[in-house]
A and B are shown apart, each in its own frame.
Chain A
Amino acid sequence: MISRKQCFTSFLGLMGRDLRVMRRELMPFLLRVGMQPLLFLFVFTTVLPRVSGGNPMGGGNFGQILLPGLMAVAIMFTGIASVALPLSTEFGITREIDDRVMGPIPVWLVGVEKLVFSALQCIVAAALVIPMAYYIPARPVVPDLTRWPLLLLVLLLASFLSSSIGLVIGSKVNPKQIGLVFSIVLVPITFLGSVYYPWAQLDSMRALQYAVLINPIVYMCEGLRAAITPAVPSMPWWISVPALAASLYLIGRWGIQSFVKRVIS
């Protein structure tokens, strides 16, 4: 049998490889994860308040609403991009994944490594939003970090969840159509995901308010709101956290299964 220690060493080898590749592409990584929150904060909390003679949306605490939302978007975007995009080439014509799945560890662990590595990137991406929200808006947004255990839990769950979604997409979708997936999956889930408004404020549109509950990014935003911006109304954490955990369980399993199936025919 393969010993646990050996499995762990192989796993670290896979992580090492991904880290090496990322170090080489650090600038593109930072641009990818930083551009959207940067521009969003700039336009919505600096430009618009000035040009429209007041806050266009959400009143004076729009920055507070936006910070958790942008963190969730950063997590979602990074999770999907950092798993699905490389996978689409690795499963594509070059089959570059071959060498990694031919190592002496179970194939599902190779999938888990993809999730772990991507989740780390998600957390970095989410953390990058915090200083941006402090420096860019006219009125600095300061997160309340007193509930850090909840923040950590939500960050972890959200990061693994978005990476799992990336794993499903990367394993299931034909590499040629990966760009399309970004427009038809990522765009709607971020726009209809309580990113730019708290979920509770949807109460004037009941149908939409309930329909968006199938969208996992809603729980990411609301969980983060409960953790770092308690002044903004949010879903109680005992709803958002279990919802994130359940989605992670289901989508994570689906992702790993799809990955293994794609590798072994």
Chain B
Amino acid sequence: MTQSIVQIESLTKVFDGKDRVVAVDGVDLELHEGEIFGLLGPNGAGKTTTIGMATTRILPSSGRIHINGIDVVKNPAEARQRIGVVPQFNTLDRSLTLFENLYYHCRYFAMGHGEAKARSIELLDQFLLAERKNAYPAQLSGGLAQRLQIARAIAHRPRVLFLDEPSAGLDPQSRLAMWSIVEDLHKEGITVLLTTHYMEEADKLSDRIAIIDHGRLLALGSSEKLKSIFGVRTVYELTLKSLEGIEIAAGQLRAQPGVESAEPHEHGLRIVAEKTDGLLPLIVEATKMQGLVDMRMQGANLETVFIKLTGRDLRD
């Protein structure tokens, strides 16, 4: 039986004001000790707000969050001792060197001079930043800055690490490096909650995934489980030259047995089908008038799961 380390119950956040926004709408989550948990959703789904509440920066409108048994709202300072946070943007202290960013972080967490110094040196080595220890954050590339942010977040040995969109703005190589860092930390036993809107990131890193949209959880489980429950269908993504008469074509396709939906969008048509036998020629035939430019077919993967659940592409 795995121990749960983060419990989120009926979490809600409403931003009042001119435009009332329900950013998070009754989310329940439980993280098991030592797992990597991916919160997957498009921009504006409520991922960052959820992390903000779990990391004491945003006050929930209602609901409860416990981390390692500590009520985050009632005892924020104590909760912060057990969590490390890598925010979406580079928040490194620009007035301090790389070494000092780590050193003073340790001091904020009540370590003495000797301990803080030793820990900072250890982290600089571990994250291959020792050569640049006297540089300032402004001199770092995005990938290095991100690495330092992760080092800083774990400097006080937290139980849970929150990574908010960790690969946003990283080049592919830095992204791979970041993934391997997260996997190494995972091996050391830290629990990780990461938000992302990259399918492959969620798929590659996470033990379990929750899909979130409009502040609500739509599905939760391992990548395989989600694919087996929701992803039996195949998605045909059509790019068309013209959208004239597209409704007629979509109607024709909807009438085919095994076709679940056929929805026009700004570049063409998206067809979700359960049975694919013999469908391809029918699709080509039906869209003859519109001029088929490109077609992508996707079997059961997270992307199809996502489209099925939210009715839209992550990039829409």
Contacts and interface: CB of A to CB of B under 8 A. Distances in A.
**Interface bracket on A:** 20 to 34
A13 B110 CA distance: 7
Contacts of B94: 89, 94, 96
A100 B85 CA distance: 12
Nearest to B149: A99
B156 to A, nearest CB: 8
B58 A103 contact: no
A103 B92 contact: no
Contact of B91 (A14, A16, A98, A103): A98
B257 to A, nearest CB: 52
A99 B109 contact: no
A37 B173 CA distance: 55
B253 to A, nearest CB: 47
Given A2-B78, A2-B81, A103-B108, A94 B100 contact: no
Contacts of A200: none
B166 to A, nearest CB: 15
Given A13-B108, A99-B108, A104 B96 contact: no
A105 B77 contact: yes
B196 interface: no
A174 interface: no
A265 B59 contact: yes
A20 interface: yes
Given A2-B78, A2-B81, A264-B59, A10 B108 contact: yes
Nearest to B57: A264
Contacts of A12: 107
A106 interface: yes
Contact of A13 (B87, B101, B104): B104
Given A16-B104, A103-B80, A96 B91 contact: yes
B219 to A, nearest CB: 28
A9 interface: yes
Contacts of B127: none
Contacts of A17: 93, 96, 100, 104, 107-108
A95 interface: yes
Interface in A53-93: 89, 93
B90 interface: yes
Interface of B: 52, 55-59, 75-78, 80-81, 85, 87, 89-96, 100-101, 104-110, 112, 152
Given A17-B107, A94-B90, 6 more contacts: A1-B75, A13-B106, A13-B110, A17-B108, A102-B85, A264-B57
State the 5 A-B residue pairs at the shortest beta-carbon distance, nearest first: A13-B107, A103-B108, A98-B91, A9-B110, A104-B81
